[in-house]
A and B are shown apart, each in its own frame.
Chain A
Amino acid sequence: MVRPFMGLEGPLLPMLHAIQEVWGHVPQAAVPVLADLLNLGRAEVHGVISFYHDFRDHPAGKRVLKICRAEACQAVGGTGVAQAVLDRLGVDWHGTTPDGAVTVEPVYCLGLCACGPAAMLDGRVIGRIDADRIAAELGVSA
């Protein structure tokens, strides 16, 4: 899976993205393989994976909801909206609902600062959100 990236300058991040794309996370078993391929220590590879917010060490829920916590969204009530969504789903930041349906993550800016509060559901952007809109998108009852 990662061999096509071997010719790149600085191939590790593209490799990790490719692994996560397929597996939904970066499994522990990938670490020694990458270390061998790139002639790095396992600790170095682990250090890179753990540095970045994007890479997970376990699978997320079926859907991933990212809600912006940054200033521009706060200025239009983002903090309250985010809390209402978390309360309704019964999870905290980074949490996954018990049925494994949704993982909620904070994100610091989606570049939708003139139409906040903003969120991203499975890579699709949504502006001017409120808790009802998110519930409707997720198909959960209010």
Chain B
Amino acid sequence: MKIWVPMDSAAKALGADDVARAIAREAAVRGLDVQIIRNGTRGMIWLEPLVEVDAGEGRIGYGAVTPADVPALLDGRLNSLGPVDMLDWMRRQTRLTFARCGVIDPLDLDDYQAHGGLAGLRRAIAMSQAEIVKEVFDSGLRGRGGAGFPTGIKWRTVSDAVADQKYIVCNADEGDSGTFADRMIMEGDPFTLIEGMAIAGLGVGATRGYVYLRSEYPDAIRVMEAAVVIARQRGMLGPDVLGSGRAFDMQIRTGAGAYVCGEETSLLNSLEGKRGTVRAKPPLPALEGFMGKPTVVNNVISLATVPVIFEKGAQHYADFGLGRSRGTVTLQIAGNVRHGGLFETAFGMTLGEVVNDIGGGTLSGHPVKAVQVGGPLGAYMPVSKFDTPMGYEEFDQKGGLIGHAGLVVFDDTADMLQMARFAMEFCAVESCGKCTPCRIGAVRGVETIDRIANGDPGAAALLTDLCETMKDGSLCALGGFTPYPVMSALTQFPDDFATHKEAAE
């Protein structure tokens, strides 16, 4: 009998390790022949720890399991969810990037290959540099970290650059609240990221890669480091990648708790061992990146999606999506929501469908008040904008941004003035200090919102003006996008700002 118990952080945070220990203990007592596999998560976080049992009739799910449930689980008396692949949440998805996540043993390279792994890299090895770059371009893949820049164009720039050394840098500094897709794939299917980076290396002529992984993710760091060692032992990395005669190797580097290092130029400075301050662009990192050399800086999900593009072909990927947003979006549904987790689907589903239909509305049962999409720098979307389709341009037209596709749901108890204040406070704490609109503006922003709270009638106009300055004058998205949550709160939820004023009067 095979039993899967996730080792994903979210599952562990909800007691998966205790459940795994209880199963091992109980099985030993009963003298049962049980193989316990620690997999990634399927993404149904409200069901974690989600235990799957295969006694010869496929993988049957049980969740959320507690250690006290284990005797009943092994007796076959525990109520099951049925076959996991047949659950509504799973059947409604188009799992391309996350096809293997939760299915395989994350550190079993044979299991990985048995589920389509390395097919993409093998195909890329047979292609020229130009063909690899064209394949990515044709897939329509855009940067999943938030900016949505076409990945193929970035790769072409690096590929065309002439240098003695080029680099692939993976941005795994997933600091945005409401996002956990990077963490999930690194913990649940690390080889797909390594494979994507190896393909990127072949495509642009880079032989070295780095994953800049935030220190807040110790579990992901452990899994990625172990995966790199295995990949090297098995010839997936090293001087002769899968016998291609071409070299690519990589290291995992740990961040040090600075949110701004998720910005690509700060990240590069940090990787070089400097303060994580933002660099002015140009020069683009594609031309002068890590150590001043041409560098591809891509988000985890962008790189982890590359293998499936090469496995199934660019056209297969591009056939999904909406408008200029091609392929799938890895939605992370979070906050005050009944069914939180990761849901991968073609671009195009509306925000309301995601929150109410997929997410099941709020956890508290109260009405939804706002959904912050795209992390701490994303706009608060009111229910009146629930018809907005998930797409880069579609969100932009509604004054929002998709970002890394994290959605944080708030119920009607949320105080939007406090949320706006928090956005400014966060910007002040995390500002790298290089440019004035961000460094000073964020501090003044907190003060100005406090003035609104105290009933100052002129403060709202001042806040609007300050936000304009931050938007136009900041070097990077931290100062430049903090106005999104602040202004969306102010304009979409004026009552929360007026109430304070009237109360003061």
Judge if B480 is at the interface, Cβ distance under 8 Å. Answer: no
Contact of B253 among A14, A71, A72, A120 (CB under 8 A): A14
- The residues in A between 1 and 47 inclusive whose CB is less than 8 angstroms from any CB of B are 8-14, 16-17, 38, 47
Judge if B249 is at the interface, Cβ distance under 8 Å. Answer: no
**Which B residues are CB-close (under 8 A) to A115?**
10, 13-14, 45-46, 48, 340
What mask results when residues 272 to 304 of chain B are scored 1 for a CB within 8 Å of chain A, else 0? 111111000000000000110000000000000
Contact of B275 among A8, A11, A47, A111 (CB under 8 A): A47
How far apart sit A48 and B258, CA to CA, in the bound complex (Å)?
11
**Which A residues are CB-close (under 8 A) to B372?**
71
Given A10-B273, A14-B254, A127-B10, the answer on whether A111 and B174 have CB atoms closer than 8 Å is yes
Give the segment of B86-94, B406-414, B449-457 that binds chain A. Answer: B406-414
How far apart sit A128 and B45, CA to CA, in the bound complex (Å)?
11
Given A52-B258, A114-B340, A123-B218, the answer on whether A108 and B175 have CB atoms closer than 8 Å is yes
How far apart sit A70 and B422, CA to CA, in the bound complex (Å)?
9
A117 smallest CB distance to B (angstroms): 11
How far apart sit A64 and B466, CA to CA, in the bound complex (Å)?
37
How far apart sit A90 and B433, CA to CA, in the bound complex (Å)?
32
> Contact at A127–B14, with CB atoms within 8 Å?
yes
How far apart sit A106 and B183, CA to CA, in the bound complex (Å)?
20
> Contact at B256–A17, with CB atoms within 8 Å?
yes
* Closest A residue, CB atoms, query B254: A17
Judge if B395 is at the interface, Cβ distance under 8 Å. Answer: no
Contact of A128 among B14, B272, B290, B408 (CB under 8 A): B14
Given A54-B215, A118-B13, the answer on whether A113 and B257 have CB atoms closer than 8 Å is no
> Contact at B219–A125, with CB atoms within 8 Å?
yes
**Which B residues are CB-close (under 8 A) to A53?**
256-258
How far apart sit A132 and B127, CA to CA, in the bound complex (Å)?
58
Judge if B376 is at the interface, Cβ distance under 8 Å. Answer: yes
Contact of B408 among A10, A54, A71 (CB under 8 A): A71
**Which B residues are CB-close (under 8 A) to A38?**
273
Judge if B335 is at the interface, Cβ distance under 8 Å. Answer: yes
Contact of B273 among A11, A75, A116 (CB under 8 A): A11
Judge if B305 is at the interface, Cβ distance under 8 Å. Answer: no
Given A48-B275, A53-B256, A109-B175, the answer on whether A71 and B422 have CB atoms closer than 8 Å is yes
Judge if B192 is at the interface, Cβ distance under 8 Å. Answer: no
A34 smallest CB distance to B (angstroms): 10
Judge if B472 is at the interface, Cβ distance under 8 Å. Answer: no
Judge if A89 is at the interface, Cβ distance under 8 Å. Answer: no
> Contact at B422–A74, with CB atoms within 8 Å?
yes
* Closest A residue, CB atoms, query B165: A9
**Which A residues are CB-close (under 8 A) to B271?**
10, 13
**Which A residues are CB-close (under 8 A) to B464?**
none
**Which B residues are CB-close (under 8 A) to A107?**
216, 257
What mask results when residues 1 to 42 of chain B are scored 1 for a CB within 8 Å of chain A, else 0? 000000001101110000000000000000000000000000
* Closest A residue, CB atoms, query B260: A51
* Closest A residue, CB atoms, query B180: A111
* Closest B residue, CB atoms, query A50: B275
**Which B residues are CB-close (under 8 A) to A109?**
174-177, 179, 216
Sample (29) of A-B pairs whose CB atoms are under 8 Å apart: A10-B272, A10-B290, A11-B273, A12-B273, A12-B274, A13-B256, A17-B215, A17-B256, A48-B275, A51-B277, A52-B257, A52-B258, A54-B215, A71-B372, A71-B408, A72-B335, A72-B408, A75-B411, A107-B257, A109-B177, A111-B184, A113-B180, A114-B45, A114-B340, A115-B14, A115-B340, A116-B335, A123-B218, A125-B219
Closest 6 CB pairs of A and B: A114-B340, A12-B273, A70-B177, A127-B13, A113-B334, A75-B335
